[in-house]
Amino acid sequence: MAEAGGRARSGMVVGSIIALVFGTVFVEVNSGGLPGNGPLVVRIAGVVVAVGLLIAVLRAARGGAAGGVPGGGFADRRYWNIVGIEGLALFGGLAVINAVVGRPEFAVPWIALVVGVHFLVLGQVWRLELFKWLGVGQTVLGVAGFVLAAIGASKTTVEVVAGVLSGVALFATVAAAVFRARPAATVGS
C-alpha cells in the first residue's frame, strides 16, 4: 500500500511540475502583446504563482498526501502513445496553419485545442476527473481562440484567451490537485 501511495505522490509531483512548466510557458509567451506594463506584470505574476504552487506541491508530497496518476502513470505505454500523437498533431497542425493555410493567428488556439484534447483523452484513460475538466477548459479556450481569430480579433486578444488563460487553467488544475491531496484535518486540531 505504501508503494502505491508513493507512486501516486510521485505522479502528482511530476504531473504538477509538467503542468507548471507548460502553464508558465503559456503565460510568458502569450502575454507580450498586452499594453503598457501588462506583459511585465502578467509574466511576474505567472512566475510567482508557479513558484508558489511548486512549493505547495512539494509540501503536499512531503506531508504524505496522495493523489495523482493511477496505474502505470508516466511509464504507461498509453501515456506515451497519447503524447506522441499530441506531438504529431501539434507540429503537423502548426505546419499546415503556417505554411499551407497561411493563418499564423490560429497557431495559439491550435496548441490550446490539441493540449485540451490530450487532457480529455488522458482523463478518460486514467479515469481522472481533474484531467477531464482541464481538457474541457483548454479545448474551450482553443475553440474560443479560433473563433476570435476568425472574426478578426486582435492577436493580443487571441493570445490572451487561448494562451494566457490556458496557462491559468493549468495553474488552477495544479492548485486543485494540491487541495485534493491534502490530508483530511483531524478532529480537535
Q: Over the stretch 76-125, which tens digit does the pLDDT of each residue have?
A: 788 899 999 999 999 999 999 999 999 999 999 999 999 999 999 999 99
CA dihedral 126, 132, 133, 137 (to 10 degrees): 130
Task: Evaluate whether 24 touches 47 at the Cβ level (below 8 Å).
Answer: yes
DSSP string, 56-122: HHHHHHHTT---S--TTGGG-HHHHHHHHHHHHHHHHHHHIIIIIS--GGGHHHHHHHHHHHHHHHH
Burial class of residue 34 in the structure, from the number of CB atoms within 10 Å of its CB (0-12 exposed, 13-18 middle, 19+ buried): middle
DSSP string, 137-175: HHHHHHHHHHHHHHTT--HHHHHIIIIIHHHHHHHHHHH
CA separation for the pair 36, 39 (Å, rounded): 7
Under the banding of pLDDT at 50, 70 and 90, the label for residue 139 is very high
Range with lowest mean pLDDT among 30-39, 112-121, 174-183: 174-183
Task: Evaluate whether 55 touches 172 at the Cβ level (below 8 Å).
Answer: no
pLDDT, mean over the chain: 89
Nearest to 53 by CA among 87, 79, 27, 86: 27
User: Given this model, what pLDDT does residue 186 score?
Assistant: 43
Cell (9 digits) for 42: 502578467
User: Given this model, what pLDDT does residue 2 score?
Assistant: 36
CA separation for the pair 175, 45 (Å, rounded): 15
Q: Given a cut of 50, is residue 75 above it in pLDDT? A: yes
pTM over 0.85: yes
Under the banding of pLDDT at 50, 70 and 90, the label for residue 8 is low
CA separation for the pair 83, 106 (Å, rounded): 21
Most confident of 7-16, 126-135, 153-162: 153-162
Under the banding of pLDDT at 50, 70 and 90, the label for residue 159 is very high
